[in-house]
C-alpha cells in the first residue's frame, strides 16, 4: 500500500527551499484579532501516505487555527450522518465567484448558498449536523482527534470569542437564510457551533492525517467507512471547484488537486489514492489563501507530477 514512488522527504525539503522567499509574503487575516497577531514568518508542510506514514518539513508540527478547512470535515460528517442526498437540496455545489462571506447571491438564489465551502453554505451544513447529532462542534472535534490520532486537538477559546465579537456578517448570513426556512436550529446556537468549529487548532501533521479519509476514498484511520467511494469523490470534486474561495480556478490551474484553505493560512489537499497533504503559512493573498501555501502545493505537483490532471 505504501510502495513509495518518490522520496517524499526529499520532495518536501525541496519544496520548502523553493518557497522560502515567499514565506512572510501576504498578510495574516486581519478581521479576527486573534489571527492578526500570528507571526507570518512560519511555514510547514506535511504529507501522509495511504498507509499512514507521515513526512514533514518546517513548522509542520505547530498547531494553527484551521478555520474554514474544518468545513470539509463537517460536510463529510453531515453527509455520512444523513446517508442520502437531501443536504444538496439546501446547499448547491457550484463555485460562487464571490468572496467567502458574501451575501449578494443569497437573495437572488432564494436562501440556497452556492456551495458548502462559502460561509453561508457551511452554516447550512453545520445546521444539518447539529440536527442530526445534537452537538455539531463536539462531533467534529471528536472526529478530528480520532483521525489525526492526536487527543490534544482542541478548540481555541480566544479565537472562538474573537469570531463571536466580529461575527455580524455570519449572523446576517444565518438570519437571512433562516428567513427562507433554510436553517432549522436557533441562529445563536448555530453560530456558536460554527465559531467553535472555526477555532479548532491543528498542525499540518494532524490535518494531513485527518484528510487521509478523502485520499482513501472514504475509509477512516481505523479502517471503518465514513463515506461511500462516490461520496468521497463528490467531496473531493467540490473541494476542487469551490475549496479556495473565488480563486478556485487559479488554484486548480496551478495545483491541480482538490484543496480547501482557511484564513489561518492552512490548506489541505488530496491526491486520491496516493496521499493527503497539509501546508501552512499565515500570509494570505487578496482572496484569503496562503501565498506560500499555494506556491508550495504548486511546487509539489510540479516536482512529482502528482496532480489529478
Ligand atoms: O467565518 C469566518 O469569518 C471565519 N472564521 C471563516 C474563515 C475562513 O477560513 C474563510 N471561510 N470560508
DSSP run (H or E) holding 234 = helix 229-242
DSSP class per residue in 196-224 = HHHT-EE-HHHHHHHHHHHHTTTB-TTS-
- DSSP letter at 225 equals B
Angle in degrees, 0-180, between the axes of helices 119-133 and 187-198, rounded to the nearest 10: 110
Question: Which residue, among 67, 70, 51, 64, has the nearest Cα to 205 in the 3D structure?
Answer: 64
User: CA-to-CA distance for 257 and 253, rounded, in angstroms?
Assistant: 9
Kindly report the CA angle at 113 between 155 and 216, in degrees rounded to 5? 60
DSSP bridge partners of 201: 65, 154
Structure confidence at residue 67 (pLDDT): 97
Q: Which residues are catalytic?
A: 68, 71, 194, 245, 263
Per-residue tens of pLDDT for the chain, all 309 residues: 455 568 999 999 999 999 999 999 999 988 888 889 999 999 999 999 999 999 999 999 999 999 999 999 999 999 999 988 899 999 999 998 887 788 888 999 999 999 999 999 999 999 999 999 999 999 999 999 999 999 999 999 999 999 999 999 999 999 999 999 999 999 999 999 999 999 999 999 999 999 999 999 999 999 999 999 999 999 999 999 999 988 999 999 999 999 999 999 999 999 999 999 999 999 999 999 999 999 999 999 999 999 999
Give the residue extent of every domain in the chain. 8-304
Q: Which CATH superfamily is domain 8-304 in?
A: DD-peptidase/beta-lactamase superfamily (3.40.710.10)
Structure confidence at residue 148 (pLDDT): 98
Structure confidence at residue 102 (pLDDT): 83
User: CA-to-CA distance for 249 and 212, rounded, in angstroms?
Assistant: 23
pTM (two decimals):
0.96
Q: Phi and psi of 259, rounded to 5°? A: -150, 155
Ligand 1 neighbourhood includes 198 CB (under 6 angstroms): yes
DSSP run (H or E) holding 18 = helix 8-19
Q: Is 51 left (phi over 0), alpha (psi -120 to 50) or beta?
A: alpha
Q: Phi and psi of 229, rounded to 5°? A: -60, -40
Kindly give the distance from the C-alpha atom of residue 105 to the centroid of ligand 1, in angstroms, as a whole number: 17
Distances (CA, A) of 61 to 64, 147, 156, 204: 9, 16, 17, 6
Structure confidence at residue 149 (pLDDT): 98
Kindly give the distance from the C-alpha atom of residue 308 to the centroid of ligand 1, in angstroms, as a whole number: 27
Q: Which of 64, 174, 198 to mutate to test the pocket of ligand 1 (most atoms within 8 A of CB)?
A: 198
**What confidence tens digit (pLDDT) does each residue in 99-136 have?**
778 888 899 999 999 999 999 999 999 999 999 999 99
Of ligand 1's listed atoms, the one at least distance from the Cα of 194 is 1
Amino acid at each position: 500500500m505504501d510502495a513509495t514512488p518518490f522520496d517524499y522527504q526529499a520532495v518536501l525539503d525541496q519544496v520548502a527551499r523553493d518557497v522560502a522567499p515567499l514565506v512572510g509574503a501576504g498578510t495574516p487575516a486581519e478581521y479576527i484579532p486573534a489571527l492578526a497577531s500570528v507571526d507570518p514568518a512560519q511555514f510547514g508542510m506535511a504529507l501522509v501516505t495511504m498507509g499512514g506514514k507521515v513526512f514533514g518539513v518546517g513548522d509542520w508540527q505547530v498547531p494553527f487555527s484551521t478555520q474554514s478547512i474544518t468545513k470539509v470535515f463537517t460536510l463529510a460528517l453531515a453527509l455520512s450522518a444523513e446517508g442520502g442526498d437531501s443536504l444538496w437540496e439546501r446547499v448547491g455545489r457550484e463555485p460562487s465567484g464571490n468572496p467567502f462571506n458574501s451575501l449578494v447571491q443569497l437573495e437572488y438564489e432564494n436562501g440556497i448558498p452556492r456551495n458548502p465551502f462559502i460561509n453561508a453554505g457551511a452554516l447550512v451544513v453545520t445546521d444539518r449536523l447539529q440536527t442530526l447529532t445534537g452537538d455539531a462542534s463536539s462531533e467534529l472535534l471528536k472526529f478530528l482527534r480520532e483521525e489525526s490520532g492526536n487527543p490534544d486537538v482542541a478548540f481555541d477559546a480566544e479565537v472562538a470569542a474573537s469570531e463571536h465579537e466580529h461575527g455580524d456578517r455570519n449572523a446576517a448570513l444565518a438570519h437571512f437564510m433562516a428567513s427562507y426556512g433554510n436553517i432549522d436550529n436557533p441562529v445563536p446556537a448555530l453560530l456558536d457551533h460554527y465559531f467553535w468549529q472555526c477555532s479548532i487548532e491543528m498542525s499540518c501533521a494532524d490535518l494531513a492525517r485527518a484528510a487521509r479519509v478523502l485520499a482513501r476514498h472514504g475509509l477512516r484511520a481505523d479502517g471503518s467507512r465514513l463515506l461511500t467511494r462516490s461520496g468521497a469523490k463528490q467531496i473531493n470534486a467540490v473541494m476542487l471547484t469551490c475549496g479556495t474561495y473565488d480563486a478556485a480556478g487559479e488554484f486548480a490551474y496551478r495545483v491541480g488537486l482538490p484543496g480547501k484553505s482557511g484564513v489561518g493560512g492552512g490548506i489541505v489537499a488530496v491526491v486520491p489514492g496516493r496521499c493527503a497533504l497539509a501546508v501552512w503559512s499565515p500570509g494570505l493573498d487578496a482572496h484569503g489563501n496562503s501565498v506560500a501555501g499555494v506556491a508550495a502545493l504548486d511546487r509539489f505537483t510540479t516536482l512529482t507530477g502528482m496532480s489529478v490532471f
